[in-house]
């Protein structure tokens, strides 16, 4: 099956710093990628839809200035958590769909803000 690679798999950062997470579709082109967040014992919550070449569409309650999304190419979307705080500590995961609308997930990034 198709492969989506997410990097880094885990990161620890200091409060106030920014963290960039990359999501790459390795063997297919993805015009749309999705970013999710999962807090402990909770479900995956859709944060935003990343559209290649245009602005991302954010879910209600997700701050677009805090979670910057860039989808500059058909194989790469990035999520930058700006001025991270401990409450941003979570599991962030991306997904991309191929031409058959089948979704593939990255391995996820576990962010810990200290």
Partner 1 sequence: RKEVEQDPGPFNVPEGATVAFNCTYSNSASQSFFWYRQDCRKEPKLLMSVYSSGNEDGRFTAQLNRASQYISLLIRDSKLSDSATYLCVVNREGTALIFGKGTTLSVSS
Where on the chain is the footprint of partner 1 (CB under 8 A)?
A: 32, 34, 36, 42-46, 49, 91, 93, 95, 97, 101, 103, 105-108, 110
Least gap, CB of 101 to partner 1 (angstroms): 5
Burial label for 95, CB within 10 Å (0-12, 13-18, 19+), is buried
Q: How far is the CB of 83 from partner 1 (least distance, A)?
A: 26
Please name which of 20, 43, 39, 23 lies closest in space to residue 103, comparing C-alpha atoms.
23
Which is nearer to partner 1, 68 or 105 (by Cβ)?
A: 105
């Amino acid at each position: 099956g198709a492969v989506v690679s997410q990097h880094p798999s885990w990161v620890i950062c200091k409060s106030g710093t920014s963290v960039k997470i990359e999501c790459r579709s390795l063997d297919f082109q993805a015009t749309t990628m999705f970013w999710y967040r999962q807090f402990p014992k909770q479900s995956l919550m859709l944060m935003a839809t990343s559209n290649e070449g245009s602005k991302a569409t954010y879910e209600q309650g997700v701050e677009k200035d805090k979670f910057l999304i860039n989808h500059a190419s058909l194989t790469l979307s990035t999520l930058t958590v700006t001025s991270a705080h401990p409450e941003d500590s979570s599991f962030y995961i991306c997904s991309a769909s191929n031409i058959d609308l089948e979704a593939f997930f990255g391995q996820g990034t576990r962010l810990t803000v200290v």
